[in-house]
Amino acid sequence: MTQKQIKLALQEVAINALSNSIKEQDITKGAFSEEALRYLTMSEISKKKIWGTFPNKKTRNGKKEDRILAFEKLYKRDLNNKFYFPDIVSYHETNKNHNLVVELKIKKDIKDKDIKKCKEYLDKKSGEINFNLAMVLFSNDIDKSFEKDMNKKIKAAAKKGTSINNSTLLLGFIEWEFDEKKNKHLGDPKTFWM
């Protein structure tokens, strides 16, 4: 697969995970949790089989698969001995160039620091694991100020010329619109490369 095909697959993972999140939020109302988002996202990543499968399997010779998908993998930064636990990672045990790191947030936890953390994960000089791609998904509820902030980020990325071809950080969120015929808010997953 080309790098662009892999990035398009990651965008599809984000859209599907957020679409499922919208359905679950509608069913569970205020009880939707980050754990639920983590499960939905891991399921979509695993379906693609690009970044490994979950649960991890053993091969015929008893060894683990080349790529491992894990929840909350310990990540140590070299610079200041900070420790992080990314929500989802795909990595190769013997190869320092690991593939994917994912941070997930629901409404009450939305912060720019998660975007900053993902940028640090992508910095080859920053930590013990090198990641090629990072994704931050925000499963936000109806909040126009959040959507306004995300739209500013989209415009800033477009102004810088950021696109799928020259970026390694994908952001996803839900844009909500009121449907007068159905008399309720409907969510629409959005993604952009930052």
For the chain, the structural domain boundaries read: 3-193
Q: Which of 20, 24, 25, 22 is nearest to 47 (CA)?
A: 20
Q: Which of 155, 148, 159, 149 is nearest to 112 (CA)?
A: 149
- Residues facing residue 67 across a β-bridge: 92
- Residues facing residue 58 across a β-bridge: 64
The 3-state DSSP class for residue 101 equals: strand
Task: Please give the chain's pLDDT, 194 residues, in tens.
Answer: 888 899 999 999 999 999 999 999 888 877 888 899 999 999 999 999 888 888 877 555 556 557 778 898 877 766 667 778 889 998 876 665 558 999 998 865 566 788 888 888 887 766 667 788 999 998 877 666 777 777 788 888 888 888 888 899 999 988 887 777 877 778 889 899 98
The shares of helix, strand and coil residues in the chain, as percent rounded to the nearest 5, are 40, 30, 30
